[in-house]
Structure 1
Amino acid sequence: MAKTLPELRSQIDALDLELLTLLNQRASLAHEVGDIKRLDGSAVFRPDREAQVIANLQAHNGGPLKDLSLSLIWREIMSACRALEAPQRVAYLGPAGTFSEQAAIQFFGGSMSRVLCVSIDEVFRATAAGSAEFGVVPIENSSEGVISRSLDLLLNSPLHIIGETSFLVRHNLLRLEPSLHDIEAVYAHPQALAQCQDWLTTHLPHAERRAAASNA
């Protein structure tokens, strides 16, 4: 006999309470791990260990949750647990809403402490000076190649790359009017203008392209 909607919701509510109990148990263990790490001076954040945890879960995943969804869920769980060990200050190119912020959240999770910087140079300075424990900078993209400033700074910096993340970049054209008619200029970061040059040439061949400090 099929279950009714109230019965299903009741089961979901009960499972949510079980999950809450288990998550708090996990957080308590993570807090103990943090105490041990502080005593022996170990790093709080181990990207290789977190990747191993997610890979192991995906290997045992019988569905219906997709592996990508599983990865996103556990990334946030581990981020929240890390925050109990020590706040993770992460520097990246701001303001809020940039692709660098998306990359930082994707890698560190939403419980990180954000250090917004006005340039890639400042990301390096903040991280090297200890204002942030980690820095996130763009290295390359598929359409415009390497980000030369990031590579130049890496050559003359005491910082080391400890991990990487990648994601699909999508640009959106914003306007008050829902039409491409009579657009005279498009404002965007120079990198975004370069990435979208074929689309702009096809759809807005007469619009002026004006560089801005940030798409955000």
Structure 2
Amino acid sequence: MSKDLSDYRKEIDRIDDEILRLLNERSKSVIEIGKLKKERDAGANLHTPGREAAIIERLTKQNTGPFPTDAIQSVYREIMSASLSLEGPQKVAYLGPRATFTHMACMQKFGSSAQYVPVHSIKDVFSEVERGRANFGVVPIENTTEGVVNHTLDMFIDSNLLIYGEVLQEVSHHLLSTSGLLDDVKKIYSHPHAIAQCRNWLETNLPHVPVSEVASTARAAELCMDEPSSAAIASELAGQLYGLKVVKARIEDNLNNFTRFLVLSQKPPERTGKDKTSLMLSVKDKVGALYDLLRPFASHGLNMTKIESRPSRRKAWEYIFFVDVEGHIEEERVKKAVEEVTPRCLFLKILGSYPAHS
């Protein structure tokens, strides 16, 4: 005889009980691992991104369904986040306030069990990690529409922090208000970058509505709570947090709109085999200097995924280059390329080798 509804629910309850038992069994092993890590190095980062990536990759390959493969990463992100909190508190500083896209990138990387510390500026994020008040910091580095975040690049010039990882966060802007009605919108608030990313939609659909710049998309949502005739360009998370309704979803002009974030730490992560290395260097002012800089990377078969220049602020017409290459600094080909480049530079600084976002 086929089972009825109550039989299936009893079966699910039994399975849930077993899942809970296994989660607690897993947690006991995690606690023991935390003890061993502290015995080996009391100041080491408990978070190991390479190990987490390997777990998710293994499980997604083994999954035969019907549980969706895409959901495995989300489920295990939270399992590992909760497990990591058992080893010790993980404080993460980020450019606040809550519900910004930086906050969402933090959640994607560290899950909901980490302790998040919102601060007022990118400089404050660096400071929190440098002073040991946070284990990690998360800062934006570039956007597919607006380009590089110069303030973040400039902070690396004088900071000794290392890049511990990277996160690619999809940036999807919603128009939010208390009523959820387009006709009620008489004023719009948002961050300058969000406004720029939605400019065509605004000019087409609300050409006569004034747009005001504020410090963050989350601040824009907060302001709309008490202004029924105002709307905010912000994330869906901001709408949920501040009790706003969606007037129009996904109003960004470029649907392929992503922001890359960097994770900062005082210590480097473990090598994973799928790593990226970031460098900061200044070349001598001469004909062919940039060519001489790029040639060693090409000759050693390294894929350069990014190069960005900034004024050095120390001497007129002197520039600092920020370079990303695929590979780890401990790899022979990366090491040799850096050794060849170093004599051609006024200075060279390795910002870190870290797992590439997958």
Is the pair's TM-score, using the shorter chain for normalization, greater than 0.5?
yes
- Report the Cα distance in structure 2 between the residues aligned to 1:208 and 1:128, rounded to whole angstroms: 41
Give the 4+ runs in structure 1 shifted more than 4 A: none
Q: Which structure shows the higher helix fraction?
A: 1
Is 1:186 matched with 2:188?
yes
State the structure with more CA Rg: 2
- Report the Cα distance in structure 2 between the residues aligned to 1:178 and 1:34, rounded to whole angstroms: 48
- Report the Cα distance in structure 1 between the residues aligned to 2:143 and 2:76, rounded to whole angstroms: 27
- Report the Cα distance in structure 1 between the residues aligned to 2:142 and 2:115, rounded to whole angstroms: 25
- Report the Cα distance in structure 1 between the residues aligned to 2:180 and 2:80, rounded to whole angstroms: 41
- Report the Cα distance in structure 2 between the residues aligned to 1:3 and 1:166, rounded to whole angstroms: 45
Name the structure 2 match of 1:28.
28
In 1, are the aligned partners of 2:81 and 2:111 still within 8 Å (CA)? yes
Residue 6 of structure 1 deviates from its aligned partner by 0.4
Instruction: Map 1:123-134 onto structure 2 (within 5 A).
Output: 123-134=125-136
Is 1:117 matched with 2:119?
yes
Residue 144 of structure 1 deviates from its aligned partner by 0.7
Residue 98 of structure 1 deviates from its aligned partner by 1.1
- Report the Cα distance in structure 2 between the residues aligned to 1:183 and 1:14, rounded to whole angstroms: 51
Residue 196 of structure 1 deviates from its aligned partner by 0.8
Per mean C-alpha deviation after superposition, the further-off stretch among 175-184 and 122-131 is 175-184
Identity of aligned residues (%): 44
In 1, are the aligned partners of 2:45 and 2:135 still within 8 Å (CA)? no
- What do the CA deviations read for 1:82-107 (whole angstroms, capped 9, x no partner)? 10101100001111111111110110
Name the structure 2 match of 1:106.
108
- Report the Cα distance in structure 2 between the residues aligned to 1:177 and 1:116, rounded to whole angstroms: 29
Residue 182 of structure 1 deviates from its aligned partner by 6.6
Specify which structure has the bigger relative contact order, considering alpha-carbon pairs within 8 angstroms and separated by 6 or more residues. Answer: 2
Superposition RMSD in Å: 1.4
Amino acid aligned to 2:34? G
- What do the CA deviations read for 1:75-128 (whole angstroms, capped 9, x no partner)? 111111110101100001111111111110110011101111111111111111
- Report the Cα distance in structure 2 between the residues aligned to 1:46 and 1:202, rounded to whole angstroms: 47
Per mean C-alpha deviation after superposition, the further-off stretch among 148-157 and 110-119 is 148-157
Q: TM-score, normalised by structure 2?
A: 0.58
- Report the Cα distance in structure 1 between the residues aligned to 2:185 and 2:111, rounded to whole angstroms: 38
The count of corresponding residues between Structure 1 and Structure 2 is: 216
Q: TM-score, normalised by structure 1?
A: 0.95
Name the structure 1 match of 2:63.
61
Name the structure 2 match of 1:157.
159
Q: Secondary structure of 1:7's partner?
A: helix
**Structure 2 unaligned residues grouped into runs of 5+:** 219-358
Q: Secondary structure of 1:44's partner?
A: coil
Q: Secondary structure of 1:90's partner?
A: strand
Amino acid aligned to 1:119? S
